[in-house]
A and B are shown apart, each in its own frame.
Chain A
Amino acid sequence: MRVTKVLFLIFFVSFTVACTTVSQQAVQFSPTVVGDGASITVAMTEVPEPVMAYPGAGCLLCLGVAASANSSLSKHTKTLPIEDLEKMGAEVRDALVAKGLQANLVDEPFDFKALKKSSSKEENAAKKDFSVLREEFETTHVLVIKLDSVGIWRNYANYVPTSAPYANITGMAYLVNLETNTYEWYLPIAQQDFSEGEWKQKPDYPSLTNVYFGAIERVRESILSSLK
């Protein structure tokens, strides 16, 4: 009986532990750690098209109701430009060069999905095996800017909106040492900004559009200031 209990406990613990994922903590940038001889290749993944999302609308019918209620804003969100986000790679490269580091930019959006998963469990170990890029890019480090979501979000509790719509940009930026395959800089990006005052100004939603551009600037500034 006792053995059964212990086995059950072990199974339960291993089951619940497997369910949790440890999120990568922020790592401060230090030019000393990166070193004088480093060459950094800046690569940006494709910037996602802006869309509207309804976190909290937890059933299909809720989602349908939310989408229907926000159809005009959703349509407008799709027209928001992403050029300022796409320029970030070049701006980061320029900032690194201005610091006296050797840096270049991958012109095309880079797809990291082809990279294998890293098996290392060490602290700050990169989730993917970037070391193969060492030869491809002839570089010592790769700096990645990866945006996961861009657009306007509105929180829901099932059918009921519980917040005004807000600009939302999430993702991450990190620097991987290709020799050790570890993060030497890691910045989670989670920018959420609400508009000031009235937001229901159809069809152009100027207040929300303004905070969308503000959110882009905040992301840009957080990346650049973090590299100082």
Chain B
Amino acid sequence: MKELMNTRLLLLVLFLTLLGGCASAPDKSSDLSASSDIKLEADTDFESTNEEQAENKKASIHIIANWEDPISFLGYVDTHADASSGSGVLYSGDAGAAGLLVQIFAHAAINSSMQKKKLDAKQEAANHVLAEYLEVIDKLSHTTLFEVAQVSELGSQHQIRKATEASEVPEGDIVALIVPEYYLSPDKRSIMLKLALNAYSSSDLEPSVYQRSVKVISGRVDDTSSEDMWLDGAPSYFETTAHSLFVEGLDVLLGDYLSAEVEAQEPKKTYSYQFGERKRYERATLLKETCDRLYLKDLKKDFVVIPTTSECEVGI
């Protein structure tokens, strides 16, 4: 009985071996093509997945601004020589210590109010430089700035969307609150944009808000015909400059927010640029240099983009 069992087992093994040997060897070429077909299919899938991934990888940024408010555009007040001297006061000693304190506080309040009045008057006077440009300034709005950013290279790198409330931003997307402020230099030859950005991920329960600002200064227009140059074209050069400063500033801030780069430890230097009649200085670290712009990080760790005296060569 045991012998019969062994014979059966041997027969089974022989049968299985035969079966394995009878199976025709596959055509290697067809197999290869088949496998390459599979691979190609896989590649196609991979590419499409990559595209999708890249699309998905694009940061989805929801810009929030005071959409209905007009853009802040002011004349630039130079505060470099604000050495308000104030006035000396002889305090009466008859009123005792409490009386002396009252006199000091009253003196301080008067001085503070006088200084504020002076600053308001200065701002009002500085705004006179805008008189010829009020019409073009009216054309600037948060929405036009957003639209320009959306169609720019910045818009192709990220998914930039408009939002009115942080609560409407889908989870995982970025909330970016922006406040742009423009200034025209006293000599009307340059525009400065100060752009503040508060950004955070909407998925964070307790968001750590990125708070940075950038100061972007345009190149200088010709001294003799600044008004003609600014108002030239449709849209005017004034508007296109304001647009490009906004895109440049937003690009710098979003680039910094989205990158995890370790802070550069370059030695700090003092850089200068002309804004109005007076040269201005920034103690900063150089981050990047192009043919006509310097990208700096100042002592507050905010950004400054300044024009250089050189011009870019025009491509053939």
| Interface residues, chain A, with chain B CB atoms under 8 Å away | 56, 58, 84, 155-164, 166, 192-197, 201, 204, 206-207, 209-211, 213-214, 216-218, 221
Contact = CB atoms under 8 A, between A and B. Distances in A.
Interface string B79-105: 111111111110100000000000010
A210 B283 contact: yes
A210 B85 contact: no
Given A158-B88, A158-B89, A206-B298, A217 B81 contact: no
B109 to A, nearest CB: 9
A157 B107 contact: yes
A166 B270 contact: no
B86 A217 contact: no
Nearest to A220: B270
Given A84-B270, A192-B83, A221-B279, 20 more contacts: A56-B85, A156-B86, A157-B85, A157-B87, A157-B88, A157-B89, A160-B107, A161-B108, A162-B86, A166-B83, A194-B80, A201-B300, A206-B300, A207-B299, A209-B299, A210-B282, A210-B283, A213-B270, A214-B281, A218-B279
B157 interface: no
Contacts of A157: 85-89, 107, 111
B8 interface: no
A207 B298 CA distance: 9
Interface in B104-118: 104, 107-108, 111, 115
B280 interface: yes
Which of under 10, 10 to 19, 20 to 34, or 35 or more describes the interface residues of B? 20 to 34
A160 B86 contact: yes
Given A157-B89, A158-B91, A160-B111, A210 B281 contact: yes
Contacts of A163: 82-86
Contacts of A164: 82
B272 interface: yes
Nearest to B284: A210
B286 to A, nearest CB: 15
Given A159-B104, A160-B108, A206-B299, A213 B281 contact: yes
Given A56-B85, A158-B89, A207 B300 contact: yes
Contacts of A209: 283, 299
Interface in B168-208: none
Contact of A162 (B80, B85, B270): B85
Contacts of B107: 157-160
20 contacts: A56-B85, A56-B86, A155-B83, A155-B86, A156-B86, A157-B86, A158-B104, A158-B107, A159-B107, A162-B111, A163-B83, A192-B83, A194-B79, A196-B79, A206-B300, A210-B281, A213-B270, A213-B281, A213-B283, A217-B270
Contacts of B279: 218, 221
A73 to B, nearest CB: 15
B282 to A, nearest CB: 7
Contacts of B91: 158
Nearest to B300: A206
A160 B100 CA distance: 12
